[in-house]
A and B are shown apart, each in its own frame.
Chain A
Amino acid sequence: MTLTEPAVQARGLVKRYGRITAVDHVDLTVKAGDVYGYLGPNGAGKTTTLRMMLGLIRPDAGAVRLFGRDPLVEGVRALDGVAGFVEAPRFYPYLTGRKNLELVAALDGGDAAARIDAALDIVELADRARDKVGGYSHGMRQRLGLAGALLRDPRLLILDEPATGLDPGGMRDMRLLIRRLAGQGMTVLLSSHLMAEVEELCDRVVIISSGRVRYEGALDELIATTAGRYELRTTDDARAQQIAAAQRGVDDLARNARGLAFAADERAATALSIALGEAGVGIAALVPRTATLEELFFRMTEEAPATDGAPVAPAGVSNDRRPATPDRHTPRAEEEELRA
């Protein structure tokens, strides 16, 4: 294990359940220090991928390495410095919260037990630590799950829908905590349905649908792929539409209830504004428009799956503009090299 190894490197991961391919040749790379968002609709294969990462299930093909170690080959040693939970964190309902943490700390060995009090304080469960987990709410169990993960003092934190079941205040606190942990150098792999959460926390994302990667790369690059669109409101939209249609460099022109929408580079947009002024059409607003992550997510995940194995680029984004994802669709030889 070296410091230069990616926190997570998955190549060609495949998991089938009978005739259903839950995970279909997934490649992803989480670099050390990333706050990495893992997005996909229900049943997309997110949790299955996370389970393979943690060595809970065996891939049918491909390999995953955590800081250079393969859980299938090295067992729990591959999980050194790795913690988290998949789906809802589960504990023994007949034990208290503290006893549950003592148990998992004992199974971790080392000085994990010494961190119990701090972990309980962080997740604000110290006053309920002596209650049996059977009486905990879903949100409290989520927080206990995070406390259990922190006992391992992880370098990589894998969190599967950590805000699920939390009230708005709890969700905000969870986001703050994740951001603070990331700020201390912890790599975070965050599976989430909450686009705002991912947009706020993550610098890189992978979007998966029907078990296949639709996009992997920097979040800002993904958003940037949809730049170059504008919304225009004028004193005379009909006239403005005529002028815009005649303007060189203005494409994909459409009129909607709010005004006009079009695609153009900055020079063409400037030229259009001059032309409108010369024509006596007042510009009420000319707003550059980028898609939100949520819009991109729906575009990618609601499109028909690619049939040739190529990942789908967002609508309106050509494949050559999509940020490069190195090593995607790894040849078998590379998978075997990774496994070796």
Chain B
Amino acid sequence: MTTVPAPRVASRGAQRPPGIGTVYAWELRKLRSQKRTYLGLGAAALVPLIFVIALLSSSGGPDEIPFGRYVKETGLAVPLVGLLFSSVWLFPLITSLVAGDIVSSEDNHGTLKTILTRSTERWQVFVAKLLAALSYVFAALVVFVSVGLVLGGTFWGFDPLTSLSGTQIPAGRGMLLIGASALAYFVPLIAIASIAFLLSTVTHNSAAAVVGTLILSFVMQLLAIISGLDFMAPYLLSEQFDSWQGLLRDPTDWAPITHAAWVSACYAVPAVLWAFLAFVRRDVAG
């Protein structure tokens, strides 16, 4: 370390601090550099593939669930049926895998002190991490729906889809509605991600945050099927994953969509606020 002159120390002024976009872009780069990221995205691509293989190898289909009877009539039904199945464990797992790790992994690596002693405010780091986690979840959802749609279309074509009201939906509009359904599906996922993010922030432990989020998700699904607790069901996060079905009625039923939005907000907003306060006020030791 002796051969090169040390840097000049003359012209020092206040650095122009980076914008939130810069911090967000680096959070995405960090995600892109981690194997765990591809594990979740890979699962999002693999599950529709397995579902299609299972359909191809069996004579029947999942007739008892919405759109189940149409999966071999049009490929448009495949991603919709997939969404119904995936709310049980796949998306809670994919979501918690990243959102539950994105803050606590900095604790595990000891890198929080590295980034918090630069010219970036804590709130910027917080917002960038939250946005990166949500971006990842959204990307996984897009991969899942796209793979399901492409595989479904490949094997069963893009014939019109029969709505839940029995009317025919042309392929073009059907694809738009699938996209809108994915957006509606994303709303409760934001709440799941927020809870995982909170656990990641307050526990400083990735395993605790990921497992904690999954347990919470499963507990809500359990509560939803206990008949004596029916009154709770409309307010459980697990029940909001079906709200997109309102989009596939004729006319469109917005009630479940708006209901899911505010119920999800009731989970997400306090979780994010709590996480924010914990993050900006915490002592970074260790």
A residues sitting closer than 8 Å to B (CB atoms) are 48, 51, 54-58, 75-77, 79-81, 83-95, 99, 103-104, 106-112, 115, 118-119, 121-124, 143, 148, 150, 152-155, 170, 173-174, 176-177, 180-181, 184-186
* Complex contact A94–B18 (CB within 8 A): no
* Complex contact B9–A153 (CB within 8 A): yes
Contact of B120 among A48, A76, A83, A173 (CB under 8 A): A76
Known: A75-B121, A76-B119, A173-B1. A92 touches B111 (CB 8 A): yes
CB distance from A94 to the nearest CB of B (A): 5
Contact of B6 among A79, A86, A181 (CB under 8 A): A181
* Complex contact B7–A150 (CB within 8 A): yes
Residues of B within 8 A of A119 (CB): 7
Interface residue tally for chain B (C-beta within 8 Å) = 41
Residues of A within 8 A of B16 (CB): 109-110
B23-46 near A? 1/0 per residue, CB < 8 Å: 101100110011100000000000
Q: A56-B283, A103-B26, A107-B22 are in contact. List 20 more A-B contacts (CB 8 A).
A: A56-B284, A58-B283, A75-B121, A76-B119, A77-B14, A79-B119, A80-B14, A81-B14, A87-B110, A90-B113, A94-B35, A106-B22, A107-B115, A108-B120, A123-B1, A153-B12, A173-B1, A177-B2, A180-B5, A184-B8
* Complex contact B284–A118 (CB within 8 A): no
Contact of B1 among A83, A90, A94, A176 (CB under 8 A): A176
* Complex contact B12–A122 (CB within 8 A): no
Query: CB of B17 within 8 A of chain A?
Result: yes
* Complex contact B18–A106 (CB within 8 A): yes
Max chain B Cβ within 10 angstroms of own Cβ: one of A84, A99, A103, A181: A103
* Complex contact B109–A90 (CB within 8 A): yes
Max chain B Cβ within 10 angstroms of own Cβ: one of A48, A76, A173: A76
Residues of A within 8 A of B118 (CB): 76, 79, 104, 107-108, 152
CB distance from A79 to the nearest CB of B (A): 6
Q: For window 247-286 of chain B, which residues contact chain A by CB distance below 8 Å?
A: 281, 283-285
- Distance of A48 Cα from B113 Cα, bound (Å): 13
Residues of B within 8 A of A153 (CB): 7-9, 12
Of chain A, the residue at the smallest CB distance from B113 is: A56
- Distance of A85 Cα from B110 Cα, bound (Å): 12
- Distance of A104 Cα from B18 Cα, bound (Å): 11
Residues of A within 8 A of B8 (CB): 153, 184
* Complex contact B110–A90 (CB within 8 A): yes
- Distance of A99 Cα from B26 Cα, bound (Å): 10
Residues of A within 8 A of B4 (CB): 118, 121-122
Query: CB of B165 within 8 A of chain A?
Result: no
Contact of B116 among A56, A58, A115, A152 (CB under 8 A): A56
* Complex contact B33–A92 (CB within 8 A): yes
CB distance from B25 to the nearest CB of A (A): 8
- Distance of A36 Cα from B66 Cα, bound (Å): 72
Residues of A within 8 A of B35 (CB): 94
Of chain A, the residue at the smallest CB distance from B4 is: A121
* Complex contact B113–A109 (CB within 8 A): no
Residues of A within 8 A of B281 (CB): 58
* Complex contact B22–A109 (CB within 8 A): yes
* Complex contact A56–B285 (CB within 8 A): yes
